[in-house]
Amino acid sequence: MESRTESKAESAISAHHRAAADTWSLGGEAYNEISFAVSDALAHAAQRLDPRQGEDILDVATGTGWTARNVARAGARVTGIDIAGDLLSAAQALSAHVQPPITYRLADAENLPFPDGRFDGVISTFGVMFAQDQQRAAHELARVCRTGGRLVLATWAPDGSVREFFGVLAPYSDAPPPAVSPLAWGNPDHVTRLLGEAFDLKFEPGINHAYYPDPDDFWNRYTAGFGPLRRLVQALEPARVESLKRDLAEYNASYMTEAGLHAKREYLLTIGHRR
């Protein structure tokens, strides 16, 4: 018989997100290294949110809490939610020193467990974009943000290096593609359709710069901390794993410099003011 804790955890997550929750949880604390690699983009988002002391801020799909900590450093009271329990456990441990304390909760972006207008600001960095029901998730972002409040989203661009990265992984997976690509959140027109009725929107493109000694280091960090790749490697026969490793090394070859691997990832920052 499942425990009450397990029942409560499952009820907090939409049925169609439970497999994804298990997959992202595989990264555990090692996912923090993935966040470190995109930390310039996470800082960009937090600075545009401009959190202030005493404000209540929600970080949706917080992962290991990198963005939550960026926001809390200004003195804001931050709540971070995620569907991946092991990432939240890591976030709590990594955030133990932060004042004011950050509250972490297991919750689904499509059904946020907060009253209307609860937060002065809402932020999500490469997180809410992976919710399956994009319209529902957008509705929830707007619902919990107070009138006059602020929204900032960092989302990967629909074209460019991240699309190419997922394109390398796709032939090795038997999972069906989502009905609407998460990368659609990187298109201003799409975001306007999702959020334009509730927010006045502005957009700012950015490029994440990540550095690794070589493609092997990239492989080691991502197979340890990036849940989707870790799950894929676990499911493949050894020969297929080696083939995938070679394909990722070929993908990264164009980013090699004299100093090492310099990956560049295009993203979009959405900045909203709640009407």
CATH code: domain of residue 196: 3.40.50.150
pTM: 0.95
Q: What is the pLDDT of residue 10?
A: 52
- Cα dist from 8 to 61, 164, 248, whole Å: 18, 38, 39
Q: What is the pLDDT of residue 5?
A: 33
Is 242 inside a domain boundary? no
Is 233 inside a domain boundary? no
Q: Determine the straight-line distance between the first and last CA of the chain, rounded to whole angstroms.
A: 47
Q: Which residues of the chain have pLDDT under 50?
A: 1-8
Q: Over the stretch 203-229, which tens digit does the pLDDT of each residue have?
A: 999 999 999 999 999 999 999 999 999
Is 120 inside a domain boundary? yes
**Structural domain of 141:** 4-158+175-211+267-274
Is 200 inside a domain boundary? yes
Is 150 inside a domain boundary? yes
Q: What phi and psi, each to the nearest 5 degrees, are found at residue 237?
A: -70, 155
Number of structural domains, the chain?
Answer: 1
